Structure 1
Amino acid sequence: MKIAKVLNNNVVIVHDEQGHEQVVMGRGLAFKKRSGDELDPALVEKTFALKSHELSGRLSEMLSEIPLEVVIASECIIALAREQLATTLHDSLAIALTDHVNFALTRHQQNLPIRNVLQWEIRSLYPKEYAIGLSALDIIEKRLKVRLPEDEAGFIALHLVNVQLGSEMPAVMHITKFMQEILHIVKYQLQLDYQTDALSYNRFVTHLKFFSQRMLGKRGVYSDDESLHDVVRDRYPEAYKCVEKIDRHVMKNYNYTLGNEERMFLTIHIERVRKETLALGEKDDEA
């Protein structure tokens, strides 16, 4: 394994047997080394092989400035997220999360905490990601001997949501805020006490994630078939009245009008939530 470029004593760029660029890290692996020198594989602690040249370039620049311990802690968090979420996470997470953790540690050292104004919403809407965020704080404390505030669990959770939705961080925060607005409308219009572990609630939240992306991106769903919409409207009048209120809200605040297909799907999800919430509430009363 030959060194293509030395970034610092702990980070170098190499090319694998197929000529693909890799970024490798290890304590002191590049000490007194130059481009063209052989690299001892035994010293390599972490290898990054990003598919995108742009991402690889950004990673190289970032890793040249961030302590190895921070990178390893971030990789432990990503490994936990892959296991807990059982999904493929885009390469960009390695860059975004490592950079965020390093910045959070710097702010903590300088006594400059940032309050997460969406903390409650994140914990409520993305419970799996938030749980990983809390575990991430434990990982950081164990490896780096620093306990970050719980607000950071929410920020880490947003990074995980971001990479799953394929959106930029400001867009994800906007989506989260919008979803919470819709949930509030449904809750108070129908006088519901959400059962957040109920299947219907989780399906509704999942639907809202993608509905929010479409709405904020002005990408509506339209259909010429009015028949099914009319059947759903007539069968579930309470849920449909709620959707009409949602329609007025998004028109007033986001200049977006719901199409009939979107109204139909929202009505179905809201009705499922309404029925299951009421049924679970009755069981609790009986107990």
Structure 2
Amino acid sequence: MIKIEQPFNNNVVMGWDRKHGEVVIVGKGIGFHAKKGDIIDESKIQKIFVANENEKLVDLIRQISPEYLELVEDIFYKARTEYNFSPEEQNTLALMDHIQFAVKRLKEGIQLDNPFTTEVRQFYQNEWKLGLYARERIKELFHVVIPDEEVGYIAMHLIASEFQQDRRMVNKVFQVIDIALDYIKKEYLTDVDENSLSYTRLVTHVKYFAQRYVEDKESTKEDELMKKTVREVFHEEVDCIERLSDLLYDKFGRHITNSEGNYLVLHLRNCKE
């Protein structure tokens, strides 16, 4: 049984739970006409945050409009139910803080550039769609229209939560993707159809390769038969990936492993067939 301590708005309340103590609860209509001491209808609970486990989050809720928590939980609910993402509680604080600060900045006429907007839109389409959904909800709640650059930043928070990384790591992933695809298109796939299935598969592979590369979790398992076949048959593709490996080494201090390189070679070859 949870009792209301303080209704913040129709959908966010502070409550008291006998087992966990102070809690923040999100749920549609959970605070509508509610007052201190009321028993919470548990069927309306969407999310519970235990105060002593989420002190920074609770402090932020007390300082800013509770609509920001409602908004982030709405975005995360859509992410879970429609895109099978699994954002965790610690991601709530980061995204809520970012959106609150972005709305404040934009109201003051301050807009930040995002060098990865194009890449997010192209390579992380589901996260971009969630960012567009966030833009609609921000307009409804705060009467501010966020630009594409901010849509991209919200998407990047979702990417970071999906892969359990911070934003700096996500930025590095985008740098690896940029370097790899720019080089491949310039030196090998000079006339590629970017709408083709084979190119889409290559982009998907590069995206997850970049993730593994940044996390230093590249595949090192060698397939000797594939290695021999690749190096004997696909000379042009091998040369392209070896030079790409040198570029990444110059930038990040680590080459592409042979195993990862072999799979990239096969995807390149597939784009030419």
Q: TM-score, normalised on structure 1?
A: 0.79
| Aligned equivalent of 1:82 | 80
Change (3 A) 1:224 1:97: closer
Secondary structure of 1:213 counterpart = helix
Is the 2:249–2:255 contact (alpha carbons within 8 Å) kept by the matching residues of 1?
A: yes
| Aligned equivalent of 1:23 | 24
Shift of the alpha carbon at 1:114?
1.0
Shift of the alpha carbon at 1:178?
1.3
| Aligned equivalent of 2:47 | 48
Shift of the alpha carbon at 1:183?
0.4
Distance in 2, Cα, partners of 1:66 & 1:43? 25
The one of 147, 150, 166 aligned to 1:149: 147
Is the 1:130–1:154 contact (alpha carbons within 8 Å) kept by the matching residues of 2?
A: yes
Is the 2:22–2:51 contact (alpha carbons within 8 Å) kept by the matching residues of 1?
A: no
Distance in 1, Cα, partners of 2:100 & 2:240? 44
| Aligned equivalent of 2:89 | 91
Instruction: Give CA-to-partner distance per residue, 1:98-141, whole Å, 9 cap, x none.
Output: 22211111111222211112112221221221122122211211
Change (3 A) 1:274 1:130: farther
Is the 1:107–1:113 contact (alpha carbons within 8 Å) kept by the matching residues of 2?
A: yes
**2:67 is aligned with 1:69:** yes
- Pairwise CA RMSD: 3.2
Secondary structure of 2:72 counterpart = helix
**2:188 is aligned with 1:190:** yes
Is the 1:21–1:49 contact (alpha carbons within 8 Å) kept by the matching residues of 2?
A: no
Shift of the alpha carbon at 1:21?
6.4
Q: TM-score, normalised on structure 2?
A: 0.82
**Equivalent residues in 2 for 1:83-162 (5 A)?**
83-162=81-160
Is the 1:201–1:273 contact (alpha carbons within 8 Å) kept by the matching residues of 2?
A: yes
Give the residue type in structure 2 aligned to 1:63.
I
Is the 2:123–2:204 contact (alpha carbons within 8 Å) kept by the matching residues of 1?
A: no
Q: Which of 174-183 and 78-87 deviates more?
A: 78-87
Distance in 1, Cα, partners of 2:16 & 2:188? 60
Aligned residues: 268
Gaps of 5+ in 2: none
Distance in 2, Cα, partners of 1:52 & 1:257? 45
Change (3 A) 1:270 1:52: farther
Change (3 A) 1:274 1:15: farther
Shift of the alpha carbon at 1:13?
4.4
Distance in 1, Cα, partners of 2:38 & 2:55? 20
Distance in 1, Cα, partners of 2:207 & 2:49? 28
Give the residue type in structure 2 aligned to 1:12.
M
Distance in 1, Cα, partners of 2:139 & 2:55? 29
Change (3 A) 1:188 1:140: same
Gaps of 5+ in 1: 276-287
Q: Which of 194-203 and 1-10 deviates more?
A: 1-10
Distance in 1, Cα, partners of 2:51 & 2:233? 50
Shift of the alpha carbon at 1:236?
2.4
Shift of the alpha carbon at 1:28?
8.4
| Aligned equivalent of 1:233 | 231
Change (3 A) 1:51 1:168: farther
Percent identity reads: 24
Is the 1:123–1:130 contact (alpha carbons within 8 Å) kept by the matching residues of 2?
A: yes
Is the 2:2–2:39 contact (alpha carbons within 8 Å) kept by the matching residues of 1?
A: no
| Aligned equivalent of 1:262 | 260
Shift of the alpha carbon at 1:239?
1.9
Change (3 A) 1:100 1:274: farther
Shift of the alpha carbon at 1:212?
2.0
Is the 1:8–1:30 contact (alpha carbons within 8 Å) kept by the matching residues of 2?
A: no
Is the 1:8–1:64 contact (alpha carbons within 8 Å) kept by the matching residues of 2?
A: no
Give the residue type in structure 1 aligned to 2:14.
V
Change (3 A) 1:220 1:72: closer
